[in-house]
Amino acid sequence: MGRAFVYVILGGGVAAGYAALEFTRRGVSEGELCIISEEPVAPYERPALSKGFLLPESPARLPSFHTCVGENDEKLTPKWYKEHGIELVLGTRVKSVDVRRKTLLSSTGETISYKFLIIATGARALKLEEFGVEGSDAENVCYLRDLSDANRLATAIQSSANGNAVVIGGGYIGMECAASLVINKINVTMVFPEAHCMARLFTPKIASLYEDYYRAKGVEFIKGTVLTSFEFDSNKKVTAVNLKDGNHLPADVVVVGIGIRPNTSLFEGQLTIEKGGIKVNSKMQSSDSSVYAIGDVATFPVKLFGEMRRLEHVDSARKSARHAVSAIMEPEKTGEFDYLPFFYSRVFAFSWQFYGDPVGEVVHFGEFEEGKTFGAYWIKKGHLVGSFLEGGSQEEYETISKATRLKPAVTDVEELGRVGLEYAETV
- Residue 37: which of ligand FAD, ligand NDP, none does it interact with, CB under 5 to 8 A by kind? ligand FAD
Alpha-carbon span 167 to 149, nearest angstrom: 15
- Residue 193: which of ligand NDP, ligand FAD, none does it interact with, CB under 5 to 8 A by kind? ligand NDP
Closer residue to ligand FAD in complex, CB, 284/314: 314
| Of 219, 258, 321, 389, the one binding ligand NDP by CB under 6 A | 258
Contact between 76 and 66 under an 8 Å Cβ cutoff? The reply is yes
- Helices (H), ranges, 160-302: 172-183, 204-216
Nearest approach in angstroms of CB 144 to ligand NDP is 8
Restricting to residues 327-386, name those near ligand NDP by CB under 6 A: 343, 345
| Of 110, 194, 288, 398, the one binding ligand NDP by CB under 6 A | 194
Largest CA distance in the chain: 69
Contact between 114 and 102 under an 8 Å Cβ cutoff? The reply is yes
Nearest approach in angstroms of CB 410 to ligand NDP is 27
Alpha-carbon span 303 to 282, nearest angstrom: 8
Closer residue to ligand FAD in complex, CB, 140/353: 353
Neighbours of 315 (CB within 10 A): 17
Based on the shown chain and the rule CB under 6 A, indicate whether residue 38 belongs to the binding site for ligand FAD: yes
| Of 295, 301, 356, 386, the one binding ligand FAD by CB under 6 A | 295
Based on the shown chain and the rule CB under 6 A, indicate whether residue 78 belongs to the binding site for ligand NDP: no
Based on the shown chain and the rule CB under 6 A, indicate whether residue 263 belongs to the binding site for ligand FAD: yes
Based on the shown chain and the rule CB under 6 A, indicate whether residue 117 belongs to the binding site for ligand FAD: no
Say how many CA atoms lie within 13 Å of 89 toward its Cβ: 22
Alpha-carbon span 243 to 88, nearest angstrom: 45
**Stretch 166-185: interaction string toward ligand NDP, x if CB under 6 A:** --xxxxxxx-x---------
Residues forming beta bridges with residue 240, ordered by sequence position:
231, 250
Nearest approach in angstroms of CB 149 to ligand NDP is 11
Nearest approach in angstroms of CB 180 to ligand NDP is 11
Contact between 117 and 8 under an 8 Å Cβ cutoff? The reply is yes
Contact between 67 and 18 under an 8 Å Cβ cutoff? The reply is yes
Query: Which of these ranges, 213-221, 252-260, 360-368, 392-400, lies near ligand NDP under the rule CB under 6 A?
Result: 252-260
Q: What are the respective helix, strand and coil percentages of the chain, to the nearest 5?
A: 30, 30, 40
